[in-house]
Structure 1
Amino acid sequence: MKKSERMNQMLRFINQKQQFTLQDLMQEFQISKRTAIRDIASLEELGAPIYAEYGRYGGYRLLQQMQLPPISFNTGELHALYFAIQALRSFSNLPFQATFRSIHEKFISALSDKQRLEIQNIEHRVSFKHTEQIKDSENLEFLLMAAVQNTVIQIVYHNARTSRHKESSSSYVTNSNVRTIQPIALYAMRGYWYCQAYDLHKQAYRIFRCDRISSPQLTDIEPLDHIKELSLQDAHSLWKPSEQAIPFQCRINEAGMELFHQEHFPSMKLEVYAEQTYLVGSYEPHELEFIIRYLAGYGKSIQIMKPASLKQALRQYYLDLLEHV
């Protein structure tokens, strides 16, 4: 990092922190003690009102907050921002109703002529392949703010299940029910938005497809303390199958393991027995259609070992596909 850039970031750092030590600067900016001392002197020359406090618990204190210069980005940061903005292109729904077009236009208009030319050159050299959003999710902002503010909400959740008939190989039935949940986090994967949440009625961690959530409402229910501090990754540790959950086991090869690492869910994992790798997990009875479609994506890279009912359901799924060929 250039010294001028480090000075800019250091001004923002001490302006926010107000009180700091040499060790704080050394750790934050990965610099030596000697460099930290020189940088403080440079900041004072720039007019930063820094006061040195001596003694065992001494350090430095900013006498008053400063008027900071506008934020500037170096070339690498601009390119990184451009790549990040491209990730928004495939989403028709985003929290706070952000759209790719408006963000992209504001970003491009803020660039210098030289920077704009560099971005245009990147556009001609890099291709972004996205998974398009499959279903609209109208309540993302409400769900996200409920997670941020640790509030308990009530939703109507539309479970989609499949019933098979001779005259129709797969007809879909929607089963709606009211749920009381405490949202934890949102994430997007394979064209869908998902909400990690704690279901207060079932007293269990669950993942809800956001496009199946409707009529969200705030409640007066006190949020659970042990849920408040959970992060997106920590939430997976709460996963527990219900008493009705059906365990499954599939033998999986190396190609299948690569597919697993691309997409898997908290209810499944890889285990090794006698030098053979297996995909193991469980699914709820109403998730049969979901697990069948998921396992079908592995093709010949897996072999269902148990239960027999799952093997039969996958076989029927393939037969239904053949009828449409």
Structure 2
Amino acid sequence: MKKSERLNQMLRFINQKQRFTLQDLMREFHISKRTALRDISSLEEIGAPIYVEYGRYGGYYLLNQMTLPPISFNSQEIYALYFAMQALSSFSDLPFQVSFHSIHEKFINALAEKQREHIERIKDRVIFRNTEQIKESEHLETLLLAAIKNEVLNISYQTPQREGTRSIQPIAIYAMKGYWYCQAYDVTKQAYRVFRCDRITSVEITDIEPIIDLQEIHVHNAHSLWKPSEKAVEFKCLIDQDGVEHFQQQQFPSMELITENKSNYIVGWYEPNELEFIVKYLVSFGKSINIIEPAILKEHLRKYYKDVLDNL
């Protein structure tokens, strides 16, 4: 990192902390003690109101918060941002009703002419094959804000079989295979569930007290919250390496990948009303999967294939 870039980031770092030590700067910016001291002198030269207190509990202090210069990006950071934006291009719905095209236009217009030329060359040399969004999900913003604010929502949820009303506390939203999903605690059923966002036809903010404190839950460990009901059915399937790759591309909170005696298995559970879903999910593995248990799941899979053959 160039010194000018490091000083710019350092200004923002100390402006946020107010009090810092040399060790803080050395650890944050991966620099030596000598470089940290020189950087502090450079910051003082450009007007940063820094003073030092000596002693056991001493350190550097910022007298008052500074008005910081605009954020600037180097060429590599600009290219990385452009790559990240391309991931948005396949989604017609995004939280906060921001379209990819408006972001893309503002981004391109803010670049220098040479940077714009390089971006155009990248566009002609890199192909992004994203899964297109299949169905619209109009309530993403409300679902995400409810997760941020720890709010409970009343939703109307429509499945191919029926439509009903639920009270849920959203935990997180994510996109997979062209659909948006919402991880949530179903207050009505007192269980953790995943909802397809395009099937949520209406939402309403409630005054219901949230069941869980989302500040203690990270999106990546939220899967551990999913617990089976008393009627849930456990399953175990043997998969080959192609099956492992397929599982890594599409998986759900009620299942996990394990290894036993150098063989890979999917283990998990499904609720009785999710039988059709789990059969179609296992079908997507093709010949890469072999159901170990339960036997009834094997029978349903055979019936599915028989129905397909009968329709040929």
Query: When the two structures are superposed, what TM-score results if normalisation uses the length of structure 2?
Result: 0.95
Would you say how many aligned residue pairs link Structure 1 and Structure 2? 312
What SS class does the counterpart of residue 114 from structure 1 fall into? helix
1:206 paired residue among 177, 193, 212: 193
For 2:9 and 2:193, how far apart are their aligned partners in 1?
Answer: 41
List gaps (5 residues or longer) in structure 1: 161-172
Does the 8 A contact of 1:184 with 1:231 survive in 2? no
Question: How far has the Cα of 1:271 moved from its partner?
Answer: 3.2
Q: Which residue of 1 aligns with 2:32?
A: 32
Which residue is 1:304 aligned to?
A: 291
The AA in structure 1 aligned to 2:171 is I
* Residues 18 and 61 in structure 2, CA contact (< 8 A), matched pair in contact too: yes
SS in 2 for 1:68: coil
Encode CA deviations 1:196-239: one digit per residue, 9 max, x unaligned.
11122322211111111122111111223444421211211111
Q: For residue 277 of structure 1, report the CA deviation from its aligned partner.
A: 2.9
* 2:241 match: 254
Letter in 2 for 1:181: I
**Structure 2 equivalent of residue 163 of structure 1:** none
Aligned counterpart in structure 2 of residue 242 of structure 1, from 221, 226, 229 = 229
Aligned to 1:217: 204
What is the Cα deviation at residue 274 of structure 1?
4.4
What percentage of residue pairs aligned between the two structures are identical? 64
Counterpart secondary structure, 1:304: strand
In structure 2, C-alpha distance between the alignment counterparts of 1:221 and 1:319, rounded to whole Å: 47
How far apart are 1:273 and its partner, in Å? 4.0
Which letter maps to 1:44? E
Compared with structure 1, are the counterparts of its residues 121 and 243 closer, same or farther at alpha carbon in structure 2 (3 Å cutoff)?
Answer: same
Structure 1 stretch displaced more, 223-232 or 96-105: 223-232
Other structure's SS at 2:159 match: strand
Partner of 1:233: helix, strand, or coil?
helix
**How big is the shift at 1:266?**
1.7
Map of 1:269 onto structure 2: 256
- Mapped pair 1:289 → 2:273: no
Partner of 2:61, secondary structure, is: strand
Please name the residue that 1:318 is paired with. Answer: 305
Aligned partners of 1:14 and 1:271: how far apart in 2? Answer: 45
Give 1:316 shift.
Answer: 2.4
Instruction: Select which of 168, 177, 202 maps to 2:164.
Output: 177
Instruction: Letter of the 1:186 partner, please give it.
Output: I
Report the TM-score, using the length of structure 1 for normalisation: 0.91
Q: Do the aligned partners of 1:198 and 1:206 also contact (CA within 8 Å) in 2?
A: yes
Q: Distance in 2 between matches of 1:270 and 1:7?
A: 45
- For residues 169-212 of structure 1, the C-alpha deviation after alignment (integer angstroms, 9 at most, x for no partner) is xxxx3x12221111111111111111111122322211111111
The residue aligned with 2:14 is 14
Q: Are residues 225 and 312 of structure 1, via their aligned partners in 2, closer, same or farther at CA, if it must alter by over 3 Å?
A: closer
Aligned mates of 1:41, 1:228 — CA distance in 2: 39
